[in-house]
Structure 1
Amino acid sequence: MKKEDLFDVIIVGGIYAGLSAGMVLGRSLRNVLIIDSGKPCNRQTPHSHNFLTRDGETPAQISAIAKAQVLHYPTVTFLTGKVLSTTIIPVGFTVETASGQQFNARKLLVATGVEDLMPPIAGFAECWGISVLHCPYCHGYEVHGQQLGILANGDTAYDMVRLIQNWSSSLTLFTNGSSTLTPEQRQLINQLNVQVVETELMAIEHEQGQLKTLRFSDGSDYKVDALYSRVPVRQQSDLAVTLGCDTTKSGLLSTTEFGQTNIPGLYVAGDNSSPLRQLSVAVANGGKAGLWINSELIGEDLATRFPPASLLN
């Protein structure tokens, strides 16, 4: 393998975390390949918030600006494609795309995010990120003071009621079946004047993702302006796990603050390794991973150029 065939870093996943790392590495004069399939998990979310200078813009607008700025650096290459497999090789890693292309790099950063798993409720997926919301920090201001619903049960419902009531006092909790709240949890929810509806939710009527009516199994319906819910997630890609990357109890990839995994040379960043699904957090984590990768590359390069005296004897 010739040196010119070897990238310093391959980044799999080229949205916020991946592009942030790519910018750091491009500015560090590193030869970087970013590969992205073009299907971010927030692609139907109309607006992104809590990101300074870009508050209220669409996710696509923000990522397009970021991509253009990252590709300003001539050592960064962007490829639209899907990585199917990765292999550890003596000099680092090989990745293979769905089109059969193979690329090699000294370091690998996986920033592929997670996939939201929708419940089998008609209309839920179509409203996800638009009027069925997962995070008040991302969307709460836009619906504050309105009639809001929470679709959850047990501890999750209790935590969400405590959180969402900060944005609106007009709340209804829909447990989608018999409540599993403890008496103590129910007491606080009652004190907050939150109605609890235990009937099974059958469908969400909407217009282009904008919630209109909640339909229940007993024929009843409720009008709310927005509905909060949490859904389970899974890794968007199994690349890191296949290489042997450890995971947390919640299924996230296990990493240090700077994106290092238990596999030498393998880094992760973004939603795949953080429970805080905020654009700003993904950008920060990608940036930190890029810094640490470059530092590691510098250390290896210096060790090659100036080996310890003991190794010369």
Structure 2
Amino acid sequence: MNISPLFAGALSVLAGVGTALAAQNAVIVDDLHPGVVIDKQNMMAADLAIWNPPSRYYDMTSALVDGGYTLFRFPNGSLSNDYHWNGIGSYDSTGLWTADTTKWARGFLGETIYRGTTKDNYGFVRRSHLADGKKETMWWGEILDPVDPPWIVVEFPEKMNLDSLQIDWGELRPKAFEFAYWTEDYAEYPGVHQALENKLKTESVVRVNSETTKYKFAQIRTRYVAIRFKTPDLPSKGVQIREMKLFSGESDLLEGNNYKFYAMSTRNGDKARTDWTDIKWDFEEFMKYIKTLPNAQAVICVNAGTGTSKEAAAWVRYANKVKGYNIRQWQIGNEL
């Protein structure tokens, strides 16, 4: 960014005098002759996402060049958090993928095995493992930050009457948990789990004495409820819930799909998806393509959802040391 002499002089004056004198040296902005020159190099950027075949990008080449695009991101934004860049590697017993650091094969998409958040986007619909009716699946909340331990929120489309809950724990269960509900009718976007103002009221702190907790409480009416934990009450590896039920009388309100789950601090771990395979727009195909574009630079978004820091480091090593691509721009997950 270049600053005009007039603007630079005004800045130096403002920095060196008191408030009274600074008011006398205000900069007058002239829209026809701006004092700030914008550097237009690398202004235009585009996602070259993995869901398109390579032929589509080759067909778009002239449009990308004419449009002045020079920064190109792979494998996408949000989808990057499900993508393993290297198909050569292995899963450990908990579902963590370790990629080879010297050899490469076409990457693939993984599906988390500990997901607690409901999914319904772009035709990809999945129930939460917290209430999918299967004891063999579970949500695993990991202690990523001791000050902000894992927790979950249930959101209903309207206020519901609630009077009891049941939680079936995994091997990692807490000493106690807090059962809370939102005190107002509506939580503004993005919702209770990210609200700047906390309006959760604690209904009770429930002790956990066995692998199944059943808790009856005086009826409450709310749209949002939360299960929260304190770090001292959790095992060092976090907390696991296999199934959760919320009752209104005899009806389990989590039996259908008329609600949303939000689960914070879900542990990494996945399995390879079988409904989306043979993704031909892979890392090497992407790099081969952008070499055909003038002044093109790669922006790589590493997997911060099902991936690990070790997997990301392996990608950097393979790209820059093994292949010599000298990629300088790396993003850690999407919108973090």
TM range (shorter): under 0.3
**Higher RCO, 1 vs 2 (CA within 8 Å, ≥6 residues apart):** 2
Structure holding more strand per residue = 2
The structure that has the greater radius of gyration is 2
Q: TM-score, normalised by structure 1?
A: 0.24
* TM-score, scaled to structure 2: 0.23
Relative to its length, the structure with more helix (as a share) is: 1
